[in-house]
Structure 1
Amino acid sequence: MNEILDILGVVLRFLPRLVDSASAQSVCRHRCAIGRSQVLPPPLPLLALPKFRFSSLSGRRGLTSARRIIPMPKEVASAADLRCVGSCEGWLAVVNESKDHCFLVKAFSPEVVQLPQLSSYFNPSTSTSKILPIINGFSQVTEVVRFNANGRYVLPVPKVVLSSSLDSRSKYIVAACSASEDFEPQLHIALWQPGMRSWHICDGYILNGLKDLAFYKGKLYILQRSQPDLYAFELEEGDRGIVVSRVECCMSMLNFPHPLQLGIVGGSMSCNIVVWRGLLLLVIKYYGDRYPRHKVLRVRVFALDFSRSPCAVTMIHNLGGDCIFVSSNGCRSFPASLHDTVEGDLIYFIPDYWSPYDSFVYNMRYGRKKHFPVKLLSCDFQLPEDVIDFPLWLFPFRCCCTANLNLRVFG
């Protein structure tokens, strides 16, 4: 029996795509035992397209031509106006705009976690608020963040990130923010954790505009997409749920080369943050012109060192064989070096709110970019940005998702 499992384990290592692994299980009753006896590399990421269609990344730096519909719970399957706004370790954050609902769905299973509604009325008996000055801010007199617990709010259709997987034993935190680029006062950062009845809201001038979020070493880091201004929000658990206790400006545009310093006249920047091997990385795309914004001239990656204030930055030229996947709804590193058929040191960019036409793979070792085909199906760029359903990356667990996986192929 052990020899059979060893042989099957070797075979499955050459099947990095989730659909291939699931197919192997459908004809092999020993498949589940392999996961318990051997440590298999995680399956390759899936690209979640509009209308809950998924494409698998292949080992040839492309996507499978066949797109698949994954069985979803009734809350998802029965609604017509749902959008995926985030993902974490096999879980999808989903918004039902017409019903003001937001919930977490575990892909390949019927599990659903309801989140608070996207709007709430003011309750003076439970509402509390405080003003937090920004440490090391540009102007400590005027730069503040207002934190409101259990108060009135109207949260626009958000992007969502999680501090950890719902399958972990830690008490996870959900952070949401508007995905719009408009500079309006109602844009917020919203926080929630299990046990809370409503979102807790942060607002302030630094939170306006398009942002990227990442949980790193117990803090929530918020980055301005148009320039690398990075803020660290220290979080504490109070008697009414998660609260923000301190806000610090960790770095600003002054720490990085301006487009003009790279010889890019009239250029602009698009920034993202991602956790990689215990470090927080900053990924910057440099554009030749602001409009149109689909001409990327440079890509730079920096490792951030928070032992100094402002944080120290070091440009890096490889990922140790790993890959980075970038989208509007969060970024993620992936141990591509565990797969023999997958090339490492690549960054996969897909269309997002900042650059709806960007779709390419950047090779960090050689400083080259190559086209990465992503068909968005029903995504119509003539529509307002707040209703466009952009794709996002999903990183499923091999052991938890193949047991009930039944993929229906179309297209």
Structure 2
Amino acid sequence: MKEARSSSWSDLLPELLGLVLMRLPSLIDRVRLKAVCHSWCSNARLQPLPPPPPWLALLDGTFLSIPDGKIIRMPASDNAFCGGSSESWLFFVHSDGRCSLMNPFSKAALDLSKLVKRWFNARSIYKSFRKLEYKGVHICQPPFAVNLSLESHRLPCYPLDDIAFFSGKLYGVFGGGELLTTFEIICGLDRKPKTSVVKCITNHPLVKRILPQPLPSSCVVKTYLVEYCGKLLMVERKIGWADPTSRYPLEHERTVAFEVFEADLSTKPGQWRCVFELGDQALFIGKHCSKSFPAGECNGIQKDCIYFMCDYLSLDLAFDPICDPLRESGVYNIRNGKITPLLPETAVVPQHRGGKWCSTWIFPTDDV
């Protein structure tokens, strides 16, 4: 008993430490545990752990931890506009026009100063919603970050809804899912990457699911592409408004439903097939970053659910780049059609503050 009372916390068996870590999904809590002593830090690095839950980058440069609602402040690029993310990397446009990628967890950085400056004008991104120029850079995982200009190609006269990097190719969806095009990255003798249109998928879904909840008479549809367990998914977000007679359809908007489709590339032309469940995964969707993520009780992420934020502007805010990501956010269950708040009732909802960042998902790693 005397020896037991004099034992140090640093002598905690690695097996017990692992059990503790499994109950600490938050990256911040894991970091605090590692900081207790050298022994805990060394043993913690040996434990196989599920990835920590995603964070939501806020406009003022802080991060919101999901689902506990904690606000995290981390050093980032000063005086720079954050235009998107990919995994644990953030894409920045600096005041001098220089572009860069930075990992706020490992502090690694990648300079992209050779990018054409006019494509990354922070003000024009909100006026024209030309996310291709932003997402086309950070969608290619570091260190292979390249400028993907698709403006020179003769594409159909559809608005580009979203792009995604899947199976070594870049896919773009047009016209609300009417057309899916593949852009192949080709490196020529001059070592400069080029793109070419190599395949198109037509035929919007022939089989539509019966939604659990009826839709409003008028809806706006936003489309996202996301890679999911070796499959390419298209997510349709239905945004309705309370007053159909309003001149500004997004003035009183709210997300009412989602539909998910899988691209079947085995047929010519390809087909969209309806998806009714996500298994043990959840989808985090957004204009600047979309990703599937393992769900489970250990991390508080709900399976068969779509996590969404407000990534669009109402027409009355068309000239204001500040948009509160929590203004129209939530968790949608694709099985029963129910929408629950993004944060639990016990969480303190952060006050909306402006800044130089766009709202985007970022996925922490344990390498800190």
| Shorter-normalised TM range | 0.7 to 0.9
Deviation at 1:344, TM superposition (A): 1.8
Q: Compared with structure 1, are the counterparts of its residues 104 and 293 closer, same or farther at alpha carbon in structure 2 (3 Å cutoff)?
A: farther
* Structure 2 alignment gaps of length 5 or more: 1-9, 242-248, 315-322, 344-348
* Other structure's SS at 1:52 match: coil
Q: Which amino acid aligns with 2:265?
A: F
Indicate the residue corresponding to 1:233 in structure 2: 183
Say whether residues 1:68 and 2:72 are aligned partners.
yes
Give the conservation status (yes or no) of the 8 Å contact 1:281–1:303: yes
Say whether residues 1:119 and 2:116 are aligned partners.
yes
Indicate the residue corresponding to 1:24 in structure 2: 33
1:309 aligns with one of 268, 271, 295: 268
Once residues 231 and 328 of structure 1 are traced to their aligned partners in structure 2, the CA distance between those partners, rounded to angstroms, is 18
Question: Which structure has the higher relative contact order (CA within 8 Å, separation 6+)?
Answer: 2
Q: Which moved more, 1:204-213 or 1:21-30?
A: 204-213
* Other structure's SS at 2:339 match: strand
Q: Compared with structure 1, are the counterparts of its residues 22 and 276 closer, same or farther at alpha carbon in structure 2 (3 Å cutoff)?
A: same
What are the equivalent positions in structure 2 for 1:328-339 lying under 5 Å apart? 328-337=287-296, 339=298
* Other structure's SS at 1:30 match: helix
Once residues 127 and 158 of structure 2 are traced to their aligned partners in structure 1, the CA distance between those partners, rounded to angstroms, is 8
Q: Compared with structure 1, are the counterparts of its residues 206 and 22 closer, same or farther at alpha carbon in structure 2 (3 Å cutoff)?
A: farther
1:363 aligns with one of 333, 338, 351: 333
Give the conservation status (yes or no) of the 8 Å contact 1:188–1:207: no
1:220 aligns with one of 165, 170, 173: 170
Q: C-alpha deviations, 1:248-300, integer Å up to 9, x for none?
A: 322354657699xx875443211111111111111111233543362333211
Once residues 157 and 365 of structure 2 are traced to their aligned partners in structure 1, the CA distance between those partners, rounded to angstroms, is 33
Indicate the residue corresponding to 2:102 in structure 1: 105
Indicate the residue corresponding to 2:128 in structure 1: 182
Q: Which amino acid aligns with 1:379?
A: G
Q: C-alpha deviations, 1:12-49, integer Å up to 9, x for none?
A: 01000111001101103234434553311111111111
Indicate the residue corresponding to 1:267 in structure 2: 219
Indicate the residue corresponding to 1:409 in structure 2: none
Q: Compared with structure 1, are the counterparts of its residues 214 and 363 closer, same or farther at alpha carbon in structure 2 (3 Å cutoff)?
A: same
Q: Compared with structure 1, are the counterparts of its residues 191 and 330 closer, same or farther at alpha carbon in structure 2 (3 Å cutoff)?
A: closer
Say whether residues 1:243 and 2:215 are aligned partners.
no
Indicate the residue corresponding to 1:87 in structure 2: 85
Q: Compared with structure 1, are the counterparts of its residues 42 and 338 closer, same or farther at alpha carbon in structure 2 (3 Å cutoff)?
A: farther
* Other structure's SS at 1:27 match: coil
Q: C-alpha deviations, 1:348-403, integer Å up to 9, x for none?
A: 111113665431110122211123256473238xxxxxxx74311111111x12xx
Indicate the residue corresponding to 2:6 in structure 1: none
Q: Which amino acid aligns with 1:348?
A: Y
TM-score of the superposed pair, with normalisation by structure 2: 0.76
Q: Which amino acid aligns with 1:202?
A: L
Give me the identity figure in percent: 28
Once residues 195 and 89 of structure 1 are traced to their aligned partners in structure 2, the CA distance between those partners, rounded to angstroms, is 13
| Paired residue total | 327
Cα RMSD for the two superposed structures: 3.6
Once residues 313 and 203 of structure 2 are traced to their aligned partners in structure 1, the CA distance between those partners, rounded to angstroms, is 19
Give the conservation status (yes or no) of the 8 Å contact 2:204–2:272: no
Q: Which amino acid aligns with 2:262?
A: A
Say whether residues 1:155 and 2:119 are aligned partners.
yes
TM-score of the superposed pair, with normalisation by structure 1: 0.69
Give the conservation status (yes or no) of the 8 Å contact 1:181–1:209: no
Once residues 183 and 335 of structure 1 are traced to their aligned partners in structure 2, the CA distance between those partners, rounded to angstroms, is 30
Indicate the residue corresponding to 2:15 in structure 1: 6
Give the conservation status (yes or no) of the 8 Å contact 2:135–2:163: no
Indicate the residue corresponding to 1:44 in structure 2: 53
Once residues 219 and 293 of structure 1 are traced to their aligned partners in structure 2, the CA distance between those partners, rounded to angstroms, is 38
Higher strand share: 1
* Structure 1 alignment gaps of length 5 or more: 121-153, 159-177, 381-387, 402-411
Q: C-alpha deviations, 1:228-253, integer Å up to 9, x for none?
A: 53211122222222222334322354
